[in-house]
Amino acid sequence: MAAGPWPTSLDVGQVICLGLVALQHRGQESAGIVTSEGTSETHLNVKKGMGMINTIFNDENMKKLKGNLGIGHTRYSTSAASEEVNCQPFVVHTVHGVLAVAHNGELVNCDKLRKQVLSRGVGLSTHSDSELITQALCLNPPDGEEDNGPDWPARIKHLMQLAPLSYSLVIMMKDRIFGVRDAYGNRPLCLGKIVALNGSTSPEEGWVISSESCGFLSIGARYVREVQPGEIIEITNTGFRTVDIVERPENRSLAFCIFEYVYFARSDTIFEGQMVYSVRMECGKMLAREAFVEADIISSVPESGTAAAHGFSREAKIPFAEVLCKNRGNTIGPIVKLLKDAGAKAVHVRIASPPLRYPCFMGINIPTSEELIANKLDNMKLATHTGADSLAYLSVDGLKKAVRLNIKNTKEIGHCTACLTGEYPEPLEWILSAYAATRPQLLSPSSILLTTASGVGIWGVNPSSASSWLLSAAHLVPLKKATITS
């Protein structure tokens, strides 16, 4: 968003493109940019396509993305297919004007919300939950609206009450942008300001909002703060303001995705007042305390493992050395073989993360439990499988301690560890719904509802494979034998 007066001298399209390049690690399937000149209720400038940023946005395309404000998106699919029709931002034309939405995350109650939208006579052209969000914003809020136009903050709040998680959103109208983060804070979102090159005393040239702060330096922006969980921020050419904050249900804690620290985010990004690099280094130190091993050198599989390797090296007082180039692949078996072929007498694998054991329904593409290797092999068998001399993971408690060590605001801290522990931030019902949507073959007519010590679940037999399974509050567990007592 360029600061006023408009038209601006700031190349908004180019700023967004550079910002997307810095966020390319978050998605490589497709990308898009939508800009507005701030004057037309019916027209936005749009360019979207499949592939990497540098293949989609050339000089000719960029010339068409004129405007005083705009939003962009780089996609990695978790639910809808990897097709051009699902490229974001989504643009819809409403009776109140044109609207563009970009979404990071995944709606956990997508099926329920889809039925509500369709029941209002709204058509959907894709299976993307991001399009669903866009169309849901076109619905009137339950309390109605004044005659002088739509109440967009009320509509956004209504959407947030319908869909508890997981999302961070940027929503653009003709002359304003809303930044939105779900009440659990599951997906990241932060605010920055573009400043002039001639010093900090000059007024800001514009405002930016992004999933990560790592791209701010490349566009001449300074980090301001995170968008708070449940917060709705409105940005115009005069600045930004908080228009509302949606509260979580009672007795529910924050659930910022801990996997952002482990792998997903770029190391120079700031979350919760601390740099991701420092957290990964602390994970390495914690791992050295938990799973020390005698060695001559410590090395890493770049890039996300490098900071942790430095931390392990410092704590273990074993020198760090660069051994692998970035293009040597990221599968541990071939890497172990490569190192031994190069003369290593022993290779000990230390992973600065707990093992992934459960699927994620909130925006990270993690397979089902039975497809994850940590549920099939223990550490010793996994070391044998990869050819390593030993293998160890960081514990969940160790990861939590590393993440929370330097968080300044300790008043309220909460992290989602669902993929590590099976403890999801919302109740069981939507997990069952998510399985029904993504794996309907598992829900047979013989499925029954039962109550276990850990809560409500579904038990059934898959006729096609004659296998028993139990869907509990934590995860889907194949059973060799099941006994039900009433």
Distance separating alpha carbons of residues 468 and 479, to the nearest angstrom: 5
Query: 140: pLDDT confidence band, cut at 50, 70 and 90?
Result: confident
Least confident of 23-37, 73-87, 302-316, 368-382: 73-87
Distance separating alpha carbons of residues 289 and 212, to the nearest angstrom: 30
Higher-confidence position of 136 and 259 = 259
Query: 476: pLDDT confidence band, cut at 50, 70 and 90?
Result: very low
pLDDT score of 36 more than 80: yes
Task: Judge if the upstream peptide bond of residue 303 is cis by omega within 30 degrees of 0.
Answer: yes
- 283 annotated binding-site participant: no
Average pLDDT, integer, range 86-107: 90
- 190 annotated binding-site participant: no
Select the highest-mean-pLDDT range: 86-95, 433-442, 448-457: 86-95
For the chain, what are the domain ranges?
A: 12-252, 267-404, 439-479
Q: What is the pLDDT of residue 293?
A: 95
Which residues, including other chains, have CB under 8 Å from residue 345's CB and lie 6 or more apart?
none
Are both 12-252 and 267-404 of the same fold? no
Which residues, including other chains, have CB under 8 Å from residue 10's CB and lie 6 or more apart?
2, 194, 205, 206
Q: What is the pLDDT of residue 477?
A: 42
Q: What is the pLDDT of residue 471?
A: 44
The CATH architecture to which 12-252 belongs is 4-Layer Sandwich (3.60)
What mean pLDDT, rounded, does the chain reach?
84
| Residue 285 backbone zone (phi > 0: left; psi -120 to 50: alpha; other: beta) | alpha
Distance separating alpha carbons of residues 476 and 364, to the nearest angstrom: 18
Helix (H) or strand (E) holding 323: none
- For residue 466, give the DSSP letter: T
Average pLDDT, integer, range 134-158: 81
Q: What are the tokens at 52?
A: 């990497």
Least confident of 206-210, 315-319, 330-334, 395-399: 330-334
Least confident of 12-21, 72-81, 88-97: 72-81
- 419 annotated binding-site participant: yes
Least confident of 74-78, 134-138, 173-177, 256-260: 74-78
Average pLDDT, integer, range 267-293: 96
Which residues, including other chains, have CB under 8 Å from residue 147's CB and lie 6 or more apart?
none
pLDDT digits (tens, 9 = 90+) for 348-376: 999 999 999 988 888 887 767 778 889 99
Alpha helices in 163-290 (DSSP H): 259, 276-290
Least confident of 86-90, 136-140, 337-341, 439-443: 439-443
Average pLDDT, integer, range 38-46: 93
Q: What is the pLDDT of residue 453?
A: 40
Q: What is the pLDDT of residue 121?
A: 77
pLDDT digits (tens, 9 = 90+) for 396-437: 999 999 999 999 876 789 999 999 998 889 875 555 565 555
Least confident of 147-156, 344-353, 396-405, 474-483: 474-483
- 257 annotated binding-site participant: yes
pLDDT digits (tens, 9 = 90+) for 185-238: 999 999 999 988 765 566 789 999 999 999 898 898 999 999 999 999 999 999
Average pLDDT, integer, range 460-484: 40
Least confident of 1-5, 44-48, 115-119, 167-171: 115-119
pLDDT score of 474 more than 50: no
Average pLDDT, integer, range 458-478: 41
**Contact assessment for residue 160 and residue 167, using Cβ atoms and an 8 Å cutoff:** no
Q: Distance of CA 453 to CAs 181, 270, 431, 456, 474, Å?
A: 34, 40, 18, 8, 12
3-state secondary structure 420-455: HHCCCCCCHHHHHHHHHHHCHHHCCCCCEEEEECCE
- Angle at the Cα of 267 from the Cα atoms of 392 and 390, rounded to 5 degrees: 10
Query: 148: pLDDT confidence band, cut at 50, 70 and 90?
Result: confident
Q: Going by DSSP bridges, is the β-strand pair 415-416/256-257 parallel, antiparallel, or unpaired? A: parallel
CA 112 to chain centre: 22
**Buried-exposed string 215-231: b where 16+ CB fall within 10 A, e elsewhere:** bbeebbbebbebbebbb
Distance separating alpha carbons of residues 193 and 209, to the nearest angstrom: 9
Selecting from 3.40.190.10, 3.90.1560.10, 3.40.50.2020, 3.30.420.40, what CATH number does the domain 267-404 have? 3.40.50.2020
